[in-house]
Amino acid sequence: MLGWTVGAGLDYKWQLDQGSAVIFGVEYLHYQFGEHSLAFGGPLCACSDNTTFTIGNATQTIDAIKGRISYLFSIH
């Protein structure tokens, strides 16, 4: 399935000493996938006459928010 993604993020660095820091971040992503048809049934269905049920033009969207905390080690 093909689609597209758009998003944004923000990081903040909190300096602890000359070389170490804690980094806080948040990110938002929106995924959009194209239309597709879904079919259920056929020869594997428990139906006696191999009936197929079709749901037309289904779309899928996903919205994701991610948070993170990282530690930057001081190497002297």
Q: What is the pLDDT of residues 22-58, one digit of tens each?
A: 999 999 999 998 877 666 665 555 656 656 666 667 7
Is the Cβ–Cβ distance between 14 and 21 less than 8 Å?
Answer: yes
Dihedral through CA 15, CA 20, CA 22, CA 25, nearest 10?
90
Count of domains for the chain: 1
Q: What is the pTM of this model?
A: 0.62
Range of the domain at 62: 3-72
pLDDT, tens digit, 9 for 90 and up, residues 2-11: 899 999 999 9
How far CA 4 is from CA of 31, 62, 75, in Å, comes to 6, 11, 40
Distance CA 14, CA 71 (A): 10
